[in-house]
Structure 1
């Protein structure tokens, strides 16, 4: 049985030569009896163990308690083993004394200390009493490793020294160096994977792919060998390994807190100045937020008090889009300090989880800031050109009323496009439409003098509250201003649809069929002669009047659809502003490494088992083409080698990052929505005038004292600066 061991090694430990005894800390991850992943988080000199205030086991237990829950369930943070210097000839040295001489003489180290005091029965070098106790406890958990540094002849990616597995205790068995590098039927295969330690704000690793959910939607039947493959025990647990790698920096930080040799450096003056400026920024933002908080609380209390409550309810119905966006904006202003609080401290141990939490925390205020910036740009432009905008809107409304509505109705009352219509019915429908248009135009003449103030108020609201609220207000105002068109369309559509239903029912009468509403089907039915005569008398005029009704219905449907499409375009803009992940896009443009999507390995060197020390094969190709895949006769030589590879990440593109958010926002819009709309237009039924895009959910109204809210805003901004410095 071939045993497989993968050592996940930090890159910084291979950049410089290490000559002293060092202890390795990390995780043993095993998902099968013949496979083991050793994730090395960091290395520490064991001489500093005497300077720590707490015992090493208590420190390890404390660090493990601060790790992510998923990582605690799969593996425990522990002392992995130790490593020492190794020359290229393959001899291991401990503080200047060769290991073979140490075994023969059982002598102390060259400096006379008791750090190396003989050997164990298994052949391992003895350490001091404290570390020997830790080793015994680690061996009780079935694993302990001894590594030695070996020089890598090809300096790839600043990697000069590679750990060489000297001895490993595996489930009570000791596998020595000779067993590692000799190819047998039950040989040992070792793989060293060098990774760059993830740090918050720099990079991390992730196994999630942007299109991973697409693979689960296939309806094809899987072959039997696929199901059998899934039932087999996996060879590795990459999820736990990647989680451990992402937690390496946090484990090292927790370990250094217990290090007695940490020195307190003097704080530079520039840092003190930056801290002072950050305090001023926190106080300014907190004061501005508290001002808006007081204004919102006063407005909320005023609108819900006594006689004003019915005004609030009526305005919520008339200006539904504006009311929803005002509610969303109020929740964003009230709750942004709540979202910036650190509620799950344990998730901060993993860089990937910390990045997710940070993106979730900063998504609200980033959307708020972008919305206000866009509102300021459009609001200032609208404020400076209010008169010209007012004249343009007035001219457009006049042209729409006179050139399209009135002229169109007069045209339909005559002979439109050469069609001979029913003069009486066309005259009645035309006169009703013209009178409605005239009455509504007369009412808006009194409002036209106040339209300039509406434009300025719209600009000021955009500057203060952002772009989405005035955009929603524009939708509601367009709906109210074109209420006469929608009303005429509704009346004509009722007449048109009832006429179609009557003609369909009469046509079934002639065919001897009757609609069964219980079974939802057509059944045979014997009609009387009188029913056929009455049906014939009704069918003929209804059929002859259908072209006249259809022409008016088509005209007002085109007008109403054009108005609805303009409102839908503004609705799309509002939903895009809310759904766009601005903080993710900024991070992707500035630091693409903070947006990983999957991993890949770059093989840089390969040590054949036929030679003990020198690296016989070196590879420096990031992407090997398919033609360079080893042939069957070369597989055994590669498998029986010690491979050195580097862990890399793939990165999300901006499109793949933004697309899931837009899909979520427009999850209700599908092909059936457009098919239903087209069918409703043809049959005269009512159709939806909005897309129904998903907007951010609103939260309950927040009631806390003003002073407490100000302190909360200030504290969360100061905490953001502290978190950045800690990471």
Structure 2
């Protein structure tokens, strides 16, 4: 069975010249393929697969399989051991040279484009990298990038050691993520030796981040006293309003009949905690005013750092609210589990922790009396605990929502698609990824000629595909986990 012969010709090939053609030959089960991978016609070439000219009578090919392209009538002939094939179907495929050479999508997702187009993209990428080598030695910039990557690896190892202590700080985590992003950026530049849409997107986003951060830093330093007074006023208002809320809960909120003694005890305990936190903030206020310039100085690294620092400020300013939430949640969890355990006493069951199951059990009258007494106490104290737990769980959810919005703002700053948007607007081949194939019958030679062109992806697909690899998605807690934690008293 005769196999079809596919000849892939770049659309930049100049047919009016004479010389050797650079490329390679591949043999498959269903076809044989000749790939011309250079737009330049060479006088001599080590990796040549053919020759272009008016005649091949005086031309001796060194390879077993060789391609001759007639520049007078554009006919292709295949030579095997210096002889003509004869009786074989040759299909010319004119492909978009610059599109396949510059497209970053095909090199990453080549399997979905077929073996031929994937192979062409890889060969063009190799030739592009080979052309950037300088006498086989690494350039000064590449050496500098490798040194920076080594330093970043050391920094990341130190940060990994400190992570158990500082993992709750948004500023620390953002600094670690920036170190990872910078390492990935340098590795991509050194490996690909060009600015790909992903690396360009990160670079432009970081420049915008730095510009906004420096502008805001100058504004912070100019209005230092006003900002400090504003922060002090906000914290004082939070503490005052929280005390007013506790006074309201210690009464009869919305007409609820609560346990007066237990309610009064919880209210005073939480009052003491708020007062203690207020004393701590008043003690740190002189330090904040004295070292405010140094505290906002990391904002010079970008607006995303200022956002992360603001997230930490929100967590510190509302730490007393979190502590009260923890107390109320633990007390609520203790009562819920106590009621569940004592309920099993009434039905003659008990939990077997060794076998992780519920077994039957016969209780004595004394055990039933004590269990009934304990169940009654916990049941009548539960509404008071549930009231505090519901109120401060709402505050906790509001704080989680605020921090989640700040984290998403940081994510958007790191993935701002300005570079990809510019490439897409100017119809750049770097964001090309949609292959359009058309064919026509050549009336003169009576053979099929196929044209393969690359067009840019839709804008939304381009933005999704060119998100930097080092930037992960924002991982938040699922709604099912939040609901389960709310009704069971688990900490959020």
TM-score, normalization by structure 2 = 0.79
What SS does the corresponding residue of 1:12 show, helix, strand or coil?
coil
Preserved contact between residue 195 and residue 646 of structure 1 (Cα < 8 Å):
yes
1:396: which partner in 2? 234
Match of 2:333 among 490, 493, 497: 497
Match of 1:555 among 391, 397, 407: 391
1:207 and 2:114 aligned: no
1:685: which partner in 2? 490
1:175: which partner in 2? 85
532-541 or 31-40: which moved more? 31-40
RMSD of the alignment, in Å?
4.3
Deviation at 1:588, TM superposition (A): 4.2
**CA-to-partner distance for each residue in 1:615-651, whole Å, 9 max, x for gaps?**
xxxxxxxxxxxxxxxxxxxxxxxxxx62223221142
1:195: which partner in 2? 95
Distance 1:31 1:498, change over 3 A: same
* Structure-to-structure mapping, 1:572-587, within 5 angstroms: 572-578=408-414, 584=420, 587=423
* Structure-to-structure mapping, 1:18-97, within 5 angstroms: 18=16, 21-32=18-29, 34-39=31-36, 41-42=38-39, 44=41, 60=46, 77-84=47-54
What SS does the corresponding residue of 1:198 show, helix, strand or coil?
helix
* Structure-to-structure mapping, 1:103-118, within 5 angstroms: none
What CA distance in whole angstroms lies between the structure 1 residues aligned with 2:288 and 2:114? Answer: 72
Match of 2:449 among 644, 665, 670: 644
Match of 2:249 among 404, 412, 431: 412
What CA distance in whole angstroms lies between the structure 2 residues aligned with 1:205 and 1:325? Answer: 28
1:428 and 2:287 aligned: no
Deviation at 1:505, TM superposition (A): 0.5
What SS does the corresponding residue of 2:89 show, helix, strand or coil?
strand
What SS does the corresponding residue of 1:82 show, helix, strand or coil?
strand
* Structure-to-structure mapping, 1:649-664, within 5 angstroms: 649-659=454-464, 661=467
Preserved contact between residue 41 and residue 249 of structure 1 (Cα < 8 Å):
no
Deviation at 1:542, TM superposition (A): 0.9
Preserved contact between residue 198 and residue 205 of structure 1 (Cα < 8 Å):
no
What CA distance in whole angstroms lies between the structure 1 residues aligned with 2:413 and 2:256? Answer: 47
* Structure-to-structure mapping, 1:482-631, within 5 angstroms: 482-578=318-414, 584=420, 587-590=423-426, 592-603=428-439, 605-607=440-442, 612-613=444-445
1:138: which partner in 2? 63
What CA distance in whole angstroms lies between the structure 2 residues aligned with 1:549 and 1:567? Answer: 27
What SS does the corresponding residue of 1:685 show, helix, strand or coil?
coil
**CA-to-partner distance for each residue in 1:409-438, whole Å, 9 max, x for gaps?**
111111111211111111111111122222
* Structure-to-structure mapping, 1:271-290, within 5 angstroms: none
What CA distance in whole angstroms lies between the structure 2 residues aligned with 1:313 and 1:396? Answer: 32
Deviation at 1:504, TM superposition (A): 0.4
Deviation at 1:408, TM superposition (A): 1.3
What SS does the corresponding residue of 1:551 show, helix, strand or coil?
helix
Preserved contact between residue 107 and residue 122 of structure 2 (Cα < 8 Å):
no
Deviation at 1:606, TM superposition (A): 1.2
Larger Rg: 1
What CA distance in whole angstroms lies between the structure 1 residues aligned with 2:96 and 2:110? Answer: 26
Query: Size of the alignment, in residue pairs?
Result: 473
241-250 or 421-430: which moved more? 241-250
Deviation at 1:7, TM superposition (A): 1.8
2:480: which partner in 1? 675
Deviation at 1:684, TM superposition (A): 1.2
1:219: which partner in 2? none
**CA-to-partner distance for each residue in 1:211-255, whole Å, 9 max, x for gaps?**
989xxxxxxxxxxxxxxxxxxxx996442233234556678x69x
1:440 and 2:294 aligned: no
Preserved contact between residue 10 and residue 96 of structure 2 (Cα < 8 Å):
yes
**CA-to-partner distance for each residue in 1:93-130, whole Å, 9 max, x for gaps?**
x5xxxxxxxxxxxxxxxxxxxxxxxxxxxxx6123xxx
Preserved contact between residue 415 and residue 468 of structure 2 (Cα < 8 Å):
yes
**CA-to-partner distance for each residue in 1:302-360, whole Å, 9 max, x for gaps?**
xx9xxxxxxx9899649833334445557888x79965874x5xxxxxxxx555x7567
Preserved contact between residue 83 and residue 148 of structure 1 (Cα < 8 Å):
yes
Deviation at 1:509, TM superposition (A): 1.4
Deviation at 1:562, TM superposition (A): 1.9
Preserved contact between residue 5 and residue 191 of structure 1 (Cα < 8 Å):
yes
Deviation at 1:558, TM superposition (A): 1.6
Preserved contact between residue 7 and residue 93 of structure 2 (Cα < 8 Å):
yes
Preserved contact between residue 197 and residue 246 of structure 1 (Cα < 8 Å):
no
Distance 1:250 1:125, change over 3 A: farther
Deviation at 1:496, TM superposition (A): 0.8
What CA distance in whole angstroms lies between the structure 1 residues aligned with 2:102 and 2:31? Answer: 32
2:170: which partner in 1? 321
What CA distance in whole angstroms lies between the structure 1 residues aligned with 2:479 and 2:385? Answer: 24
Distance 1:391 1:211, change over 3 A: farther
What CA distance in whole angstroms lies between the structure 2 residues aligned with 1:330 and 1:669? Answer: 19
**CA-to-partner distance for each residue in 1:545-592, whole Å, 9 max, x for gaps?**
111110011112122222232223223323443455765555445553
Give unpaired runs (5+ residues) of structure 2: none
Deviation at 1:497, TM superposition (A): 0.5
Preserved contact between residue 680 and residue 686 of structure 1 (Cα < 8 Å):
yes
What CA distance in whole angstroms lies between the structure 1 residues aligned with 2:115 and 2:298? Answer: 57
What SS does the corresponding residue of 2:12 show, helix, strand or coil?
helix
What CA distance in whole angstroms lies between the structure 1 residues aligned with 2:320 and 2:104? Answer: 59
What CA distance in whole angstroms lies between the structure 2 residues aligned with 1:440 and 1:488? Answer: 11
Distance 1:662 1:363, change over 3 A: closer
Preserved contact between residue 4 and residue 30 of structure 2 (Cα < 8 Å):
no
Deviation at 1:459, TM superposition (A): 4.5
Deviation at 1:24, TM superposition (A): 2.7
